[in-house]
Every structure is written in structure tokens, then in C-alpha cells.
Amino acid sequence: MNPISTALRSGVRRGGIEVRQSLTNAQDLWNYIFPNFSFLLVMFFMRDATVPGTDFSLGARTLPSVLGGGLAFGALVTMMMTLTVEREDGTLLRAKAIPNGMLGYLVGKVVQVAGMSVLGSVILVVPGVLLVGGMTVDGLGSWLTLAWVVPLGLVACLPLGAVLGSIFDNPRNVGIIMLPIMGLVATSGIFYPITNFPVWLQWIGQAFPIYWLGLGTRSALLPDELAATEIGGSWQHLTTFGMLAGWALLGLLVAPIVLRRMARRESGSSVAARKEKAMQRVGT
């Protein structure tokens, strides 16, 4: 039996088990429900505001944006946090000891984080459609667009989260990168049309996958006339595909190299030292 295919199957199975386990964990369920409920509440109160230059509800415009931005943010941050925590507690070291264990581990984390992100998106979109209205969810084109935008966007963001997670060996240091990520989300047109930002901010937003994932979900769920409020006055499907595919390819090339180098530096003594430091912080 091919050891690589065995590792891939093991990773997929492990990721599926972890997603199912999250549905029985009260803290994980809270993490699914509370942020999305908060977004729904904000968008409900935004329903009477309009997108500049139109009479379309700003709340309805924001919902698909938050869907795309939430998928990107969840993929980046959850992968980063998970990798950092499991590096500290020795999970990565145990994976390293198994033949092709790092490959299986990475696949499992991708399946887990992607599954959790999709579950959170369902919790957001289903009641959101009923609360704010105005979205085009009854056409085949909408679902076909989501069918390629969502998985491609997740693949574009998940390896990047793994690369960021490999930088830190202490979960408490991850906050250093959280503020820039949140700033990037804010400048990517998720909560307000990017065309109302300064041009230099528009260029920064367009350089990263968060903007393109948000644009893709907006193109799937909003009426075609809303494309006039976007950069270039169109949904730019071809450019969206190219940018997300480019980030996905870059991430899939770089992330395994970075993770292998990180795994080579892992040892029993380094894990024990990190645990001792953690215990000292708890003691103080």
C-alpha cells in the first residue's frame, strides 16, 4: 500500500473525527454560535442603511462579505492557533515520529479547520437570508459560484495560516499577528465597499486572498447590479479565480517546506522546556 495515500486517508479520517468531536464540545459550539450571532445582530440593525450610490441594504451587502471574510479569517487564525498549541503540547512531535506523519497531520488539520469554517458559515447564512433578505440564493449560478469560490478560497488561506503558525512556539505570542490580520480584513471591503477607501488601501486589500474570497461570495449571493459598486464595476470572476489559485499554489508549495523544517527542530527536550515555562507562568 502506498504510504503517502495511507497518510492522506489517515489525515482525512482524523480531520473528520475532530470536526464531529467539536459538535459535542460546549466551548466549540459557543465559538460557532456567538460570533455569527453577533454578526447577524449587527447586520440586522444595518438593514435600513444603504450601499453608497444605491438603494440596496448595506446589511444585505455585508452578509456575503462576512461569509467570505469569516472563512478567510477562520482559516488563517484557527490553523495558526491550532498549529501553535499542538506544537507546544507535543502533538507535532508525535506526528513527526510516524512515517509520513506530518503529511497526515497537515491534511487532518486542513479537513478539520475547513469543516469548522463551513459549519460556522451555515450558521451565519441560513438565518441571515431570512433576517436581511435581498440576496440571490435561488439560482443555480449562485451555488455553482460558491462551489468553486469557497473551497478554492479555503485552500488559498489554510496553508498561509500554517506558515504563520510555524513562526511561533508559544500560543501566547500569536496575538502579535492578530492585529495585522484584523486590519487586513477591515481594509478588504468586508464590512464596507472597498471603493470608498483610499486607492493605496485598495491596492493593499487586493494583494491578499481575503478580498478576493469576499468578492467571490458577494458575486454569488448579490444581484448583478451590485457589481457596479466593486472595483472595475464587475465581479471579476476570472481575476478572482487567478488570485485565489495563485495564493493556493504558493501556500501548497511553501507550507510543507516550512512545516518540515519546523518539525526537524522539534524534540522531546524542546517540548519539555516549553511545558515547564507554561507551568511557571501558571504558577505565577
| Mean of pLDDT values over 179-184 | 84
Query: pLDDT grade, residue 281 (50/70/90)?
Result: low
Is residue 36 scored above 60 in pLDDT? yes
Check residue 153 and give its pLDDT.
92
Q: Looking at the DSSP assignment, which residues form a beta bridge with residue 57? A: 50
Query: pLDDT grade, residue 81 (50/70/90)?
Result: confident
- Which of these, 75, 114, 71, 65, lies nearest to 217 by C-alpha position? 65
Q: What is the pLDDT of residues 110-165, one digit of tens each?
A: 888 888 888 888 888 777 777 776 677 667 788 899 889 999 999 899 888 888 88
Check residue 268 and give its pLDDT.
61
Query: How far is residue 220's CA from residue 278's CA, in Å, rounded to a whole number?
Result: 46
pTM of the predicted structure, to 2 decimals: 0.84
Domain residue extents for the chain: 3-283
Query: How far is residue 156's CA from residue 117's CA, in Å, rounded to a whole number?
Result: 14
Query: How far is residue 106's CA from residue 92's CA, in Å, rounded to a whole number?
Result: 10
Distance of CA 233 to the CA centre of its chain: 26
Please name the residues in contact with 46: beta carbons below 8 A apart, sequence gap of 6 or more.
57, 58, 59, 62
Residues in the chain, overall count: 284
Handedness of CA 258, 201, 43, 224 (dihedral sign): negative
Which residue is listed with cell 466593486? 230
- Which of these, 62, 36, 24, lies nearest to 222 by C-alpha position? 62
Check residue 237 and give its pLDDT.
93
Check residue 259 and give its pLDDT.
78
Is residue 270 scored above 90 in pLDDT? no
Please name the residues in contact with 12: beta carbons below 8 A apart, sequence gap of 6 or more.
107, 108, 111
Check residue 239 and give its pLDDT.
95
Query: How far is residue 127's CA from residue 125's CA, in Å, rounded to a whole number?
Result: 6
Query: pLDDT grade, residue 197 (50/70/90)?
Result: confident
Q: DSSP code of 134?
A: -
Phi, psi (deg, nearest 5) at residue 50 = -125, 155
Check residue 193 and give its pLDDT.
82
Please name the residues in contact with 34: beta carbons below 8 A apart, sequence gap of 6 or more.
none
